Amino acid sequence: MSDVILLNGMAVEALIGVYDWERVAPRPLMLDLALSVDLSAAARSDDVQDTVDYAAVAACVTAVCAREQPQLLEALAGRICSALLAEFGAIDALTLTVHKPGILPNVNDVAIRLTRSRLSD
């Protein structure tokens, strides 16, 4: 599949972290999302029903980040991937990068990237 929907620089907040000082308030995260979707029908029809609703994807991601309170970025990313694959049947696969900026001294950004598909999830 070569068709991809990209949502880059999605700003969310999540209560996430291993240390006690990280568990007192939500912190900002940035997400980049690549969704593998067959866009041929939408390209022909110009009908939103033939694609994935970007706003609904963003709302799903935001809801997972607000609801979940894991310690690890890996766990949060896994839960986001699972939720997206469960809610949006048109998504064949996805790659999610979660950035946690400013968490380490002398490191601008820490990030993890997960790739999931219907076959692997």
Return the active site residues. Answer: 100
**7, 17 in Cβ contact below 8 A?**
no
CB-based contacts of 115, cutoff 8 Å, min separation 6: 93, 94, 95, 96
CB-based contacts of 45, cutoff 8 Å, min separation 6: none
Alpha-carbon distance of 20 to 17, in angstroms, equals 8
Alpha-carbon distance of 46 to 83, in angstroms, equals 27
